[in-house]
Amino acid sequence: MSQISIGGIMEEVITSEEFTLEKARKVLKDEIVAVIGYGVQGRGQALNMKDNGIRVIVGEGDYNWQKAIDEGFVPGETLFPPMEAARRGTIIQYLQSDAGQKAMWADLKPTLTKGKALYFSHGFSIVYKEQTGVIPPPDIDVILVAPKGAGRTVRDNYLAGSGINSSYAVFQDATGRAMERTLAVGLAIGSGYLFPTTFEKEVYSDLTGERGVLMGCLAGVLEAQYNELRKRGHSPSEAFNETVEELTQSLMPLVAQNGMDWMYANCSTTAQRGALDWKNRFRDAVAPVFTELYDRVANGKETEIVLRVNSQPDYREKLQAELDTIKNSEMWQAGAAVRSLRPERRKK
């Protein structure tokens, strides 16, 4: 296990050099990993494990059944209905949506016989057990590996030869092997670095991040700037280029590679001065919103909304309507037009 120092705080990290894929294969040689749900995370993790030589089977219903077949899983051999896969598996990757986990729990629980491991990539169902009803039997391991990216990124990074950062945690160790099982699966799904956490910390940070900087806050701030530029007479393409295109295509790659300070240092002096002068004003303006957001995550109010809305029978239709509103907005129509000009799009 390695250590990194961040502002004088020592943090542990496990790398793929320390816990190698060869070691992961040895730990998992007698295991069957059953991936329940061939969706956003399930697909990426299942395919990576399959390519890494892990015995993996998929449990899926009608929704992504054909997709799993198209990508190499064989009905009756490596592809089964969810409960059949769960019965066959020794490590059960419970990768349904959060609402789906609640709905399926009564059927899944009897398949969790002594010595198995129940694996999550999100601490939601365990942390909010009063609302989900997900309370595992005491004689199984309960473990977590949470990739810090979408399932598509998990797969794309693997195919590109790079790993993804993941958090890991053990909630319940019934076998004495929970930690080695966790790390082995973490490496097998394509993690390059594994950072320790707890189920609670993972879900609190994840829900805050999704609603905050990663998605909700980002989308809202982009809309606010775009709308202001349009209101002031700028064309759609100019407003989009100054709001989204330069951010995603130029600046964020520099931040990812070298940090915010390096990006600032390599911009014009006018941009440097303006960014430094306004950074704290934006920080202070949104700080109360983040406090409210974290409180709502911690007290379960956000969970209540997720479970109520995502459990509605017309959820997918309502979701698509909301996504279509974004897609059809002027800003993202401008985005589609600008992206069509990129060389890789013109070649298609």
Q: 173 and 286: one domain?
A: no
Point out the domain boundary residue: 137, 167, 197: 197
Does the residue 330 lie in any domain? yes
Residue 344's pLDDT band (cuts 50, 70, 90): low
Residue 137's contacts (CB-CB under 8 Å, 6 or more residues apart) are: 109, 112, 114
Q: Which residues are tagged catalytic?
A: 122
Does the residue 322 lie in any domain? yes
Closest by alpha carbon to 161, among 299, 297, 246, 52?
Answer: 52
Longest dimension (CA), the chain: 67
pLDDT tens digit string along 102-146? 999 999 999 999 999 999 999 999 999 999 999 999 999 999 999
Q: 217 and 168: one domain?
A: no
Residue 150, pLDDT score: 78
Bridge partners, residue 117, by sequence: 91, 141
Residue 13, pLDDT score: 87
Q: What is the mean pLDDT of residues 87-104?
A: 94
Residue 12, pLDDT score: 84
How far apart are the C-alpha atoms of 232 and 244, rounded to whole Å? 17
Model confidence at 16: pLDDT above 90: no
Does the residue 328 lie in any domain? yes
Query: Percentage of residues in the chain with pLDDT exceeding 90?
Result: 81
Does the residue 202 lie in any domain? no
Q: 220 and 252: one domain?
A: yes
Q: 267 and 143: one domain?
A: no
Q: 137 and 246: one domain?
A: no
Q: 159 and 91: one domain?
A: yes
Closest by alpha carbon to 330, among 228, 234, 227?
Answer: 227
Q: 152 and 221: one domain?
A: no
Q: 149 and 286: one domain?
A: no
Q: 153 and 89: one domain?
A: yes
The chain-wide mean pLDDT, for the chain, equals 93
- CATH number reported for the structural domain that contains residue 327 in this entry: 1.10.1040.10
Q: What is the mean pLDDT of residues 50-68?
A: 95
Closest by alpha carbon to 72, among 52, 86, 58?
Answer: 58
Residue 310's pLDDT band (cuts 50, 70, 90): confident
pTM of the model: 0.88
What SS3 state is found at 165? strand
Range of the domain at 36: 2-197
Q: How many folded domains does the chain comprise?
A: 2
Residue 257's contacts (CB-CB under 8 Å, 6 or more residues apart) are: none
Point out the domain boundary residue: 139, 162, 197: 197
CB 309 within 8 A of CB 315: yes
- CATH number reported for the structural domain that contains residue 40 in this entry: 3.40.50.720
